[in-house]
A and B are shown apart, each in its own frame.
Chain A
C-alpha cells in the first residue's frame, strides 16, 4: 500500500534562514508525490508535485522539493523563510488501484507545522 510519513510534527526556523520539511514515501511502482499547505481555517493549497523527470521540482511561493529515489524522500525546501510561510504542510502520494488503474485518491501524511520566528 502507498504511504507517506512526515517525521516531524513541528519545524521551527528563524525568518531568513533556509527551511526543510521532511517527507518519506513507500510506494509500489513510480511515485506521484505532492506538497500542499494549509493556513488556519482554510483548505489545502497546492505547492508542487513530482511525477517524473528532474529530481528538483520548483513550485509556488519560492518552494521547491527534492525527489530522492534511493532514500525514498521528497523533502520540501525554501532558501529563505518568511513569517508568512508559517502554516501546516502536508506531503501526499497518489494511490494506485489494485488493478493498476487510475485514481485521484491522495494519501496524506500527518502534517508538519512550520513556525517561522521573526
Chain B
C-alpha cells in the first residue's frame, strides 16, 4: 500500500505570498492531520480533518487554513506568508480518528 504523499516536497516563497500544500492519505484512511515542525518550536499540531470536516485546530493564526475533499485528500493554505512560517509541514493519516497516524515525508517551506 502506498504511504502518505505530500506535494510539493520543497517550496520557496517570499513574504506576503500565499502557499497551498497538498496531502494524499494512505488509501482507505479518512483522518488527516497537519503538523508544523521548526527547530525552535518543535512539532506543533495545526489541524485535523475527518469526513471533510475540521475536527480540531491548533493554536495558529487564521492565516493557516485547510480543507479535506471527499476522497480524503487534504490541502492546507497559508496566506500572507511570514519569515517565521519557514518550516517542515507534515501530514499524517489514519483509518479513523483513534487509529495510529502515519506521516508523509513533509513539505519544506522556505519564506524569504
**Is the beta-carbon distance between B103 and A36 smaller than 8 angstroms?**
yes
**Interface segment out of the listed A62-70, A71-79, A103-111:** A103-111
**Is the beta-carbon distance between B58 and A110 smaller than 8 angstroms?**
no
**Interface segment out of the listed B60-68, B75-83, B92-100:** B92-100
Q: How large is the interface on A (under 10, 10 to 19, 20 to 34, 35 or more residues)?
A: 20 to 34
Q: A17 in the interface, Cβ–Cβ < 8 Å?
A: no
Q: How large is the interface on B (under 10, 10 to 19, 20 to 34, 35 or more residues)?
A: 20 to 34
**Residue of A105, A109, A110 with most partner-chain B CB within 10 A:** A105
Is chain A's interface secondary structure helix, strand, loop, or mixed overall?
loop
Q: A89 in the interface, Cβ–Cβ < 8 Å?
A: no
Is chain B's interface secondary structure helix, strand, loop, or mixed overall?
strand
Interface residues of A in 67-118 (CB under 8 A from B): 90, 95, 97, 102-111
**Is the beta-carbon distance between B103 and A104 smaller than 8 angstroms?**
no
Q: A49 in the interface, Cβ–Cβ < 8 Å?
A: yes
Q: Of A49, A90, A95, which is within 8 A of B43 by CB?
A: A90
**Is the beta-carbon distance between A104 and B101 smaller than 8 angstroms?**
yes
Q: Which residue of B lies closest to A110 (CB)?
A: B42
Q: Which residue of B lies closest to A32 (CB)?
A: B98
**Is the beta-carbon distance between A34 and B103 smaller than 8 angstroms?**
no
Residues on A facing B (Cβ under 8 Å): 34, 36, 41-46, 49, 90, 95, 97, 102-111
- Given A42-B105, A44-B103, A104-B56, 20 more A-B residue pairs with CB atoms under 8 Å apart are A36-B103, A42-B106, A43-B4, A45-B103, A46-B102, A46-B103, A95-B45, A97-B56, A103-B55, A103-B56, A103-B97, A104-B31, A104-B33, A104-B48, A104-B50, A104-B92, A104-B97, A106-B45, A106-B92, A110-B42
Residues on B facing A (Cβ under 8 Å): 4, 6, 31, 33, 35, 42-43, 45, 48, 50, 55-56, 58, 90, 92, 94, 97-98, 100-106, 108
22 A-B residue pairs with CB within 8 Å: A34-B100, A41-B108, A42-B105, A42-B106, A43-B90, A43-B103, A43-B106, A44-B103, A45-B103, A46-B100, A46-B101, A46-B102, A97-B56, A103-B56, A103-B97, A104-B31, A104-B56, A104-B94, A104-B97, A105-B58, A106-B33, A107-B45
